[in-house]
Amino acid sequence: MQDQHTQNTETDREQSRSVSPVQAGLNCVCPNCGEGKLYASPLTLSLTEECAICGFDLKAADPADGPAVFAIFIMGFVVTLGALWLEFKIGVPFWIHLIVWPLVTIFGSIWSLRVLKGWIVAMQFQNDAREGALDSNQESE
């Protein structure tokens, strides 16, 4: 009887994890159903409390500062290479750099933060990540 219940639970988990973490991140949708919105509004980075479609608890999956670290490195690389390429291959005036790169940095950072945060939330769900806790059996040994 226990084996049947375990098999059903595993089957349910596999079916509910059919949403690709990459697609969930790019589309900013719920990692459980793939349909509900991940963010409270289109211009914010705050997660909704729960999915409006399936009721999945999204507040427990907040990735904190993880996506910001990735976004800083990615956007730093893109902006630096872009500025060097624009300067040495095309040779544009300095004022063009002053207009182009702050805009690329701001909009690229917001977009990449949304995508990376969605991807990390989906990866947490995909890998069944939970907050760390000590097993009480290990403490007594």
- Neighbour-count burial for 92-128, b at 16+ CB within 10 Å, e otherwise: eeeeeeeeebeeeeeebbeebbbbbbbbbbbbbbeee
How far is it, in rounded angstroms, from Cα 57 to Cα 51? 7
* In a domain? residue 105: yes
Say what the pLDDT of residue 35 is. Answer: 85
Task: Please report the beta strands in the chain, taking only residues with DSSP state E, as ranges in sequence order.
Answer: none
Instruction: Dig out the tokens for 55 from the structure.
Output: 């009721």
Say what the pLDDT of residue 133 is. Answer: 61
> DSSP label at 64?
T
Cβ atoms < 10 Å from Cβ of 45: 13
Say what the pLDDT of residue 4 is. Answer: 46
Instruction: Dig out the tokens for 2 from the structure.
Output: 């226990």
> Which regions of the chain are under pLDDT 70?
1-17, 130, 132-141
Say what the pLDDT of residue 15 is. Answer: 47
pLDDT digits (tens, 9 = 90+) for 66-105: 888 989 999 999 999 999 999 999 988 999 999 999 999 9
Domain that holds residue 71: 2-129
Say what the pLDDT of residue 137 is. Answer: 60
Say what the pLDDT of residue 58 is. Answer: 79
Give first-to-last CA distance, the chain, whole Å: 31
Cβ(111)–Cβ(118) below 8 Å: no
Say what the pLDDT of residue 139 is. Answer: 53
Say what the pLDDT of residue 136 is. Answer: 61
* In a domain? residue 138: no
Could you give the number of structural domains in the chain?
A: 1
Cβ atoms < 10 Å from Cβ of 90: 8
Say what the pLDDT of residue 98 is. Answer: 93
* In a domain? residue 135: no
Cβ(48)–Cβ(39) below 8 Å: yes
